[in-house]
A = this chain, B = another copy of it.
Amino acid sequence: MKNRLEELRKERGIKQETLAAELEVSRQTIGSLENGRYNPSILLAFKIAKYFGMSIEEIFIYEEDTK
């Protein structure tokens, strides 16, 4: 699964630390998501989507058989 987190965050001109605080997760979590080390839980995905005013599907790109 790919995601547009880094792109969306930079569009808004905020740093990882700020986004992390807004979403109530650690900075490392944001970094790990941006760099594809793991996928978010569905709850975090919902929080992120709400934060950016978009749907989960617009931010996270599901790819068949991708882990």
The DSSP consensus for interface residues of chain A is mixed
Question: In the complex, what's the smallest C-beta–C-beta distance from A1 to chain B, in angstroms?
Answer: 7
Residues on A lying within 8 angstroms of B by beta carbon are 1, 39-43, 45-46, 50, 55-57, 60, 62, 66-67
What residues on B are CB-neighbors of A42 within 8 Å? Answer: 1, 39-42, 45, 56, 60
Most buried by B among A40, A42, A60, A66: A42
What residues on B are CB-neighbors of A60 within 8 Å? Answer: 42, 46
The one of B1, B41, B50, B67 that contacts A39, using a Cβ cutoff of 8 Å: B41
State whether B43 touches A1 (Cβ < 8 A).
yes
State whether A41 touches B43 (Cβ < 8 A).
no
